[in-house]
Amino acid sequence: MVAQEPEGTTMHTGDDTDSLERATRDFIAARPRLFGIAYRVLGSSAEAEDVLQETWLRWQNTDRSDIHEPTAFLTTITTRLAINVAQSARVRRESYVGPWLPEPVDTGQDPQLGAERAEALELAVLLLLEKLNPLERGAYVLREAFGYPYKQIADILETGEANTRQLVSRARKHLAAERKEPVSPAEHRRLLEVFLAAAQKGELAVLEKVLAADVVSYADGGGIRGASKIPVVGRDHVSKYLTAFAPRFWPPARTRWVEANGRPAVLVSVGENAVALLSVDVSADGIDRIMWMMNPDKLSAYVASLSD
């Protein structure tokens, strides 16, 4: 699928300053939504920003005189571009060193990240969406996070309405099969606090209590030393793994509570440098997923965006 502008548009050749000013205002007004769509489809704020830059260039060079709904037009371009990037990203991520995790974003200022609902925003959900094909991801994001009607999603994706419903249904079933019902924000925070204290002290018994039987620990290091290159699976393995590296990892470190993708998280620093962002996915069974973001590029971008 190659991104195209919606039909009926031509290149803009006029030098109309007022028109460009209106175009800029329209783009700025739509930008939070456009970023929210691209980020959810791609799981990367850097790639989402690249998509928005390309959307802006195309918007500048479009004859806007017949466009009565700029946000709808911009949404179409952004979604199609994001799906194209997601298709090429799948190939790149196959050669990624170690587990790939979504790039975290600070949701302190925008808890829903441009959407009507904060759906498809948690890191665990973005990780699962990565397993879907890009069209399924795009359809799910537009429907669940932004509430678009199926007919409009079908137009954006250049497919039929019945197929669009199937795309969303497959995505929902995949998430339901792979993820248990999450707990309340208060319980999420409580279990993360207990987990952090036990991990720091290497308390095996406490870790075994808070971890689900099928827990998985992912460390996205982007190839740096110190990050496990394969996921650690199962309560027994994960608790022993955390206990073993506790004496080396935690003594020089300091922690700061932050928010990432709408959930509490812990930023771990040594000296002036952030070395990890710890986040978890929690259900009634305990902690199901532990996600350690240690990739310096993804981590530094997140730290730079943190709200003071």
- Per-residue pLDDT of 143-190, as tens digits, reads 999 999 999 999 999 999 999 999 999 999 999 999 999 999 999 999
User: One-letter amino acid identity for 213?
Assistant: A
Q: What is the pairing mode between strands 232-233 and 211-220? A: antiparallel
Beta-bridge partner residues of 267 = 256, 277
- Residue 229: phi and psi, rounded to 5, are -85, -5
Contact 11, 62 (CB under 8 A): yes
Contact 277, 296 (CB under 8 A): no
| 230 Cβ neighbours under 8 A, 6+ residues apart | 98, 99
> In the chain, what is the greatest distance between 2 CA atoms, to the nearest angstrom?
71
Cα–Cα distance, 151 to 162 (Å, whole number) = 9
Give the model confidence (pLDDT) of 256-271 as tens digits. 999 999 999 999 999 9
Going through the chain in order, the beta strands assigned E by DSSP cover 211-220, 232-233, 253-260, 263-270, 273-283, 286-293
Query: Would the CA dihedral through 154, 159, 162, 164 be positive or negative?
Result: negative
User: From the first residue on, what is the mean pLDDT of each consecutive set of 10 residues in the chain (308 residues)?
Assistant: 51 61 94 97 96 96 88 97 91 82 93 91 95 96 97 97 98 95 94 98 97 97 82 97 94 96 96 96 97 94 83
Q: Which residue has the tokens 């902690």?
A: 287
Provide the 3-class DSSP secondary structure of residue 164. Answer: helix
Contact 223, 235 (CB under 8 A): no
Cα 220 → chain centroid? 14
Contact 202, 242 (CB under 8 A): yes
Contact 280, 268 (CB under 8 A): no
Q: What is the pLDDT of residue 263?
A: 94
Beta-bridge partner residues of 233 = 216
Q: Which residue has the tokens 């993804």?
A: 298
Cα–Cα distance, 157 to 140 (Å, whole number) = 12
Cα–Cα distance, 296 to 299 (Å, whole number) = 5
Cα 232 → chain centroid? 22
For helices 235-249 and 185-201, the axis angle rounded to 10 degrees is: 60
Cα–Cα distance, 306 to 62 (Å, whole number) = 35
Q: What is the pLDDT of residue 6?
A: 59
DSSP code at position 64: G
